[in-house]
Amino acid sequence: MSLSLIGRSISESATLKLNETAAILRDKGDPVIHLGGGEPKSRAPMDALLSTAGLLNTAEIRYTPADGIPSLKKAVIRYTEEYYHRLVEPENVICSGGAKQAIMVCLQAILNPQEEVIFPAPYWVSYPEMAKLCQAIPVPVIPEDGTFYPRLQDIEERVGSYTKAVIINSPNNPSGAMYSAEFIADIVEFCEKRGLYLIMDDIYHRLIFDNRKPINCYDYAKDLSENSKLVLVNGISKQYAMTGFRIGWAVANKKLIEVMTNIQAHQTSGPSVLLQRAAVGAINGVQTSVESLRVTLENNRNVLVEQLNSFDGIKVTKPDGTFYCFADFSVYDKDSTRLAHRLLEKVQVVTVPGVEFGMEGYLRISFCGSIKDITEGIERMKWTLDPNSPNELYIGDRKLIRDWT
Ligand SMILES: Cc1ncc(COP(=O)(O)O)c(C=O)c1O
């Protein structure tokens, strides 16, 4: 079969694939515990549902402007003012099919073939593939000091004449690390000085713990004119538990938004009006669900970290936000794919191999499920890996006896 070079170079989405595998095993009746997921389990806010139901009832569901319906742009403008203290105009905003599409059309709008996009590792699985889709070169940067907190000098060293953009995702998927205000200030200043695009993927910015305050990249920008190359990306998927609604957005200079809009117009057109209406409801509605999700996640994080710390030899960095913990399991197996498969086969626990996020030896464990899933999942993992754990394990009525060390 003759398929394109680009098409063949793009790998399957590891996380989506795991969701599929877990669903197949569950359908077979296997007692799967999914600690690999990337979506909160809470319900979408009522305001989102009411907002879209009203429109659905009219039975007149039409095309939308390629850059989003005016009411969603207005809601995004209000959101940007409230959380970033920055007043932008409708021409500075594009609404897309998820933050994913907003990032993708942004990269398509700015990257030429062979140009480079830098992002710290561990990174969200889609960044490298998105860069490749633009025939550009992804350049992951592993922090030299072995932490999940990049330093400007790590990034600076990788910037060359082909560098076009930097992507920063804080709080970070998969590490849960929230980068310091000093780092954000440094990277904003650095990108401005070097004329680089800086894409801030802020999709988890309200899901932070231990009384942390969200960090606002605009606080550190000297250039807030239409020449600014700062791009702010956000969406409803995580904070409002609305992953299936597929609405995200970007805020940037008007020329860039115009080009992104042209690309999106031919790619997908504007997102479904029903889903945009739901996003308007969520953004403008009562915000209690966000805080309640945040509190639940913080509690889940505490339980997970405590349980992981009871393993011998695992290195755990306490997540500052998100719903992921990225733990170093290399003491058990340096090959994270093999390890994740072993856990799935032996005890039906889904985790995501660290190698997918650019760091081998780690597993990403999600804490967006129930406490019961977290506790039971970790107990099963411990039984599989830690020789110091009890020899017997019950999965439902099934009694397992460990016959390996
Ligand atoms: C870091 C990061 N950015 C963007 C996205 C995409 O979000 P959306 O559902 O809005 O496309 C995700 C989803 O997992 C993510 O983890």
Beta strands of 214-353 (E only): which ranges? 230-235, 248-251, 324-328, 349-350, 352-353
| Residue carrying the six token digits 């606002």 | 216
82 CA from centroid of ligand 1 (Å)? 22
- Please give the structure tokens belonging to residue 177: 């690390």
C-alpha span between 371 and 375 (Å, rounded): 6
84 CA to centre of ligand 1 in angstroms = 20
Pocket mutation for ligand 1, best pick of 238, 239, 243, 324 (most atoms within 8 Å of C-beta)? 238
Find the 310 Cα to ligand 1 centroid distance in Å: 31
pLDDT per position as a tens digit, 269-327: 999 999 999 999 999 999 999 999 999 999 999 999 999 998 888 999 999 999 999 99
| Tokens at 273, concatenated | 């009006």
97: nearest Cα among 267, 320, 285: 267
Confidence band, pLDDT 50/70/90 cuts, at residue 137: very high
Nearest CA to ligand 1 atom 7: 99
Q: What is the pLDDT of residue 109?
A: 98
**Which pLDDT tens digit goes with each residue over 50-70?**
999 999 999 999 999 999 999
The band of 145, judged by pLDDT with boundaries at 50, 70 and 90, is confident
Pocket test for ligand 1, best of 179, 237, 364, 366 (most atoms within 8 A of CB): 237
Calpha distance 231→255 (Å, rounded): 12
**What is the predicted pLDDT for the residue at 19?**
76
Residues in the chain: 405
The alpha carbon of 336 and the centre of ligand 1 are apart by a number of angstroms equal to 22
What is the whole-number distance in angstroms between the Cα of residue 232 and the centre of ligand 1?
13
Distance 311 CA to ligand 1 centre (A): 30
Q: Which tops the pLDDT comparison, 92 or 145?
A: 92
| pLDDT for the residue 351 | 96
Residue 321 C-alpha to ligand 1 middle, in angstroms?
14
Q: Choose one of 19, 100, 206 to mutate for the ligand 1 pocket test, by most ligand atoms within 8 angstroms of C-beta.
A: 100
Distance between first and last Cα of the chain:
46
CA of 100 relative to ligand 1 center, distance in Å: 6
- Atom of ligand 1 lying closest to residue 39 CA: 14
pLDDT of residue 313: 86
Best mutation site among 126, 323, 356, 364 for ligand 1 pocket (most ligand atoms within 8 Å of CB) = 126
- Tell me the per-residue pLDDT of 167-185, one tens digit each, with 9 for 90 and over: 999 999 999 999 999 999 9
Both tokens assigned to 159: 């910037």
Take residue 208 and report the two structure tokens written for it: 């932070």
Where is pLDDT greater, at 370 or 22?
Answer: 370
Which residue has a Cα nearest atom 13 of ligand 1? Answer: 38
Phi, psi torsion values for 35, nearest 5 degrees: -105, 25
Q: Ligand 1 atom closest to Cα of 100?
A: 11
C-alpha 99 to ligand 1 mean position (Å): 6
What is the average pLDDT across 347-358? 95
Among 167, 159, 170, CA closest to 229:
167
Alpha helices, H only, 134-253? 152-156, 181-194
Q: Can you read off the two tokens belonging to residue 270?
A: 């504007």
Percent of the chain at pLDDT > 90 equals 86
| Whole-angstrom distance, CA of residue 282 vs CA of residue 292 | 14
Answer yes or no: are the C-beta atoms of 344 and 388 closer than 8 Å.
no
User: Is the model's pLDDT at 405 over the cut of 70?
Assistant: no
Say whether 328 sits in a helix, a strand or coil: strand
- Determine the residue of 203, 239, 240, 247 to mutate for testing ligand 1's pocket, defined as the one with the most ligand atoms within 8 A of the Cβ atom: 203
Looking at residue 157, its pLDDT comes to: 95
pLDDT over 70 for what percent of the chain? 100
CA 363 – ligand 1 centroid, Å: 19
Q: How many CA atoms lie within 13 A of 184 on its CB side?
A: 23
Q: Which atom of ligand 1 is nearest to the CA of 124?
A: 1
Q: Which of 304, 133, 23, 127 is nearest to 141 (CA)?
A: 127
Q: Is the pLDDT of residue 332 over 90?
A: yes
Instruction: Return the pLDDT at 28.
Output: 86
Q: Average pLDDT, whole number, for the chain?
A: 95
Q: What tens digit of pLDDT does each residue of 181-221 get?
A: 999 999 999 999 999 999 999 999 999 999 999 999 999 99
At 18, list the tokens: 């795991």
Q: Whose CA is nearest to atom 16 of ligand 1?
A: 173
- pLDDT at residue 23 tops 90: no
288-309 and 371-385 helices cross at what angle (nearest 10)? 20
Q: What is the CA radius of gyration of the chain?
A: 22
Which residue from 174, 95, 94, 166 is spatially nearest to 131, judged by alpha carbons? 166
CA-to-CA distance for 295 and 293, rounded, in angstroms? 5
As for ligand 1, residues whose beta carbon falls within 6 Å of it are 38, 98-100, 124, 169, 173, 201, 203, 235, 237, 243, 248
| φ and ψ at residue 42, rounded to 5 degrees | -70, 170
Ligand 1 mean position, distance from CA 401 (Å)? 40
Ligand 1 atom nearest the C-alpha of 169 is 1
Query: Is the pTM here over 0.85, yes or no?
Result: yes
